[in-house]
Structure 1
Amino acid sequence: MDFREETPEEKRERLRQEELKGNPMGTFSDGINRAQFGSFADLVGGLGWKGTGILIILLVIGYVIYKLVF
């Protein structure tokens, strides 16, 4: 048996799975909305803190360029 501490990503996924098992129809609309519009939490969870920082920096740079041009 593995006694290591679970990572935050593993904990989030475990909690999500437990929620789906306990209330499948309550999370149905959430799933549809995430599939249609995406979810920032899922994006950040997949990128990690370095990827999230780079994404934020790129968005800020893009916004500044947009404001300068228009």
Structure 2
Amino acid sequence: MSNRKETPEEQRERLRQEELKNNPSGTFRDGLHRADNTNLADLVGGLGWKGTGILILVLIGGYFLYKLLF
């Protein structure tokens, strides 16, 4: 192994890959039902801080636009 510390994202991906190797049928079922079990932390983790900021701005702008029109 290398001497550098792995980031939390790299660690999650490594653990996910190990789980795929150890239990392919269980992870297949999880993949089918992923949309039912998703959460905000997964969304924010995938977007990064810039994407999260843009998402918040779009949601706030959409809310004000909705209130203005209706």
TM-based fold match above 0.5: yes
Residue identity matched to 2:10: E
Which residue of structure 2 lines up, in the alignment, with residue 52 of structure 1?
52
Instruction: Give the alignment's TM-score, normalised by structure 2.
Output: 0.67
Quote the residue 1:31 is aligned against: 31
Q: 1:19 deviation in Å?
A: 1.9
Q: Give the aligned partner of residue 16 of structure 1.
A: 16
CA distance in 1, matches of 2:67, 2:15: 41
Residue 13 of structure 1 deviates from its aligned partner by 0.6
The number of equivalent residue pairs is 67
Shift of 1:5: 0.5
> CA RMSD of the aligned region, Å?
2.4
Counterpart secondary structure, 2:5: coil
Q: Which has the higher contact order (CA 8 A, sep 6+)?
A: 1
Secondary structure in 1 matching 2:25: coil
* TM-score between the two structures when normalised by the length of structure 1: 0.67
Structure 2: give runs of 5+ residues left out of the alignment: none
Moved over 4 A (4+): none
